[in-house]
Amino acid sequence: MSSKAPIGVFDSGVGGLTVVKEIMRQIPGESIIYFGDTARLPYGSKSKETIITYTRQIVRFLMGKNVKAIVIACNTASAFALETVKAELDIPVIGVVKPGAKAAAESTKNGRIGVIGTEGTIRSGIYNEFLSETNPQVQVFGKACPLFVPLVEEGLIDDPITMEMIRRYTSELIEKDIDTLVLGCTHYPLLRKTIRKIVGDKIELVNPAYETAITLKEVLTEAGLENDDNLKTDHKFYVSDGAEKFKYFANSILPCEVVETKDVNIENY
């Protein structure tokens, strides 16, 4: 495997771009092949079996592009499918949940951590699992927030309606006296400032995207696969539907210009 090979990153849609942004910032020498499964989003309300099927198809697509490592930039897919595909591949595969849990465990002082995410992520209890492994003393309180993704996609970022929904979803976590809140869905960092307004300054907001990029860097270094030639990066973007709409969104999130996004019939993989 050549260190010049790209890194495969995928999500159900645009949310994973918050992870791509961190990778570009922290390890700018790496080329990225991104796949957004826009035809089948959202993942958050789907079953484990379905998410594993979808993840395997995307992994086959990315392997066809000769990626040297894969980042599952979706909390739901990390929760449901990471262990399965990891066992099936001989390249490094990392998810966003473990790095996020690690950061939260390091951040908390009172041992009380809130996690917000999709129905699937919260129901899986995966943050709880990883946090308990890291520190059996912590108490974890999860809350599914199914309206956040549609609100972000409708562009209602700093809007009274979004604020009211943040208030409703987080009130029970605040009552539990959490001091750390994990943004357990890759869309949620886009609501970071609005969430901050509602929950106040005393709660630490953990963005797993940041820690995921650090973990990726460590994993690549360990495997001798790091590429620091950032003059030759070549990023490519693929989606299963709506390439133009995705490109527009990507250009509003990423530091580089996304010139082209291609449609892929992912069900054929």
Residue 240 sits in the site that holds a second copy (CB under 8 A): yes
Is 256 noted as a catalytic residue in this protein?
no
Figure out which of the listed residues 25, 110, 137, 161 binds a second copy, where binding follows CB under 8 A.
161
| Two tokens, residue 123 | 């129901």
User: Which DSSP helix (H) or strand (E) runs through 5?
Assistant: none
Stretch that binds a second copy, among 41-49, 98-106, 182-190, 193-201 (CB under 8 A): 41-49
Of the pair 58, 69, the CB lying nearest a second copy is at 58
Is 145 noted as a catalytic residue in this protein?
no
Residue 154 sits in the site that holds a second copy (CB under 8 A): yes
Which positions from 51 through 90 interact with a second copy, judged by CB under 8 A? Answer: 53
Q: Which of 70, 74, 190, 203 is catalytic?
A: 74
Figure out which of the listed residues 1, 26, 29, 50 binds a second copy, where binding follows CB under 8 A.
50
Residues 9/73, Cβ–Cβ less than 8 Å? yes
Figure out which of the listed residues 9, 33, 40, 101 binds a second copy, where binding follows CB under 8 A.
40
Residue 165 sits in the site that holds a second copy (CB under 8 A): yes
Figure out which of the listed residues 45, 84, 132, 233 binds a second copy, where binding follows CB under 8 A.
45
Residues 181/206, Cβ–Cβ less than 8 Å? yes
Residue 158 sits in the site that holds a second copy (CB under 8 A): no
Stretch that binds a second copy, among 21-29, 43-51, 170-178, 186-194 (CB under 8 A): 43-51
Dmax over Cα atoms in the chain, in whole Å? 51
Figure out which of the listed residues 1, 39, 63, 89 binds a second copy, where binding follows CB under 8 A.
39
Label residue 66 left, alpha or beta by phi (over 0 means left) and psi (-120 to 50 means alpha).
Answer: left
Residue 241 sits in the site that holds a second copy (CB under 8 A): yes
What is the full DSSP assignment across 28-97? TT--EEEEE-TTT---TTS-HHHHHHHHHHHHHHHHTTT-SEEEE--HHHHHHHHHHHHHH-SS-EEESH
Q: Within its chain, how far is the Cα of 236 from the centroid? A: 18
If 0-12 CB within 10 Å is exposed, 13-18 middle and 19+ buried, where does residue 135 land?
Answer: middle
The secondary structure of residue 189, as a DSSP letter, is G
Q: Which of 19, 113, 185, 209 is catalytic?
A: 185
The secondary structure of residue 236, as a DSSP letter, is E
Residue 147 sits in the site that holds a second copy (CB under 8 A): yes
Q: Rounded to an integer, what distance in angstroms lies between the CA atom of residue 204 and that of residue 243?
A: 35
Of the pair 41, 216, the CB lying nearest a second copy is at 41
Instruction: Return residues touching a second copy (CB under 8 A).
Output: 38-40, 45-47, 50, 53, 146-147, 150-151, 153-154, 160-161, 164-165, 240-242, 267
Q: Which residues are catalytic?
A: 74, 185
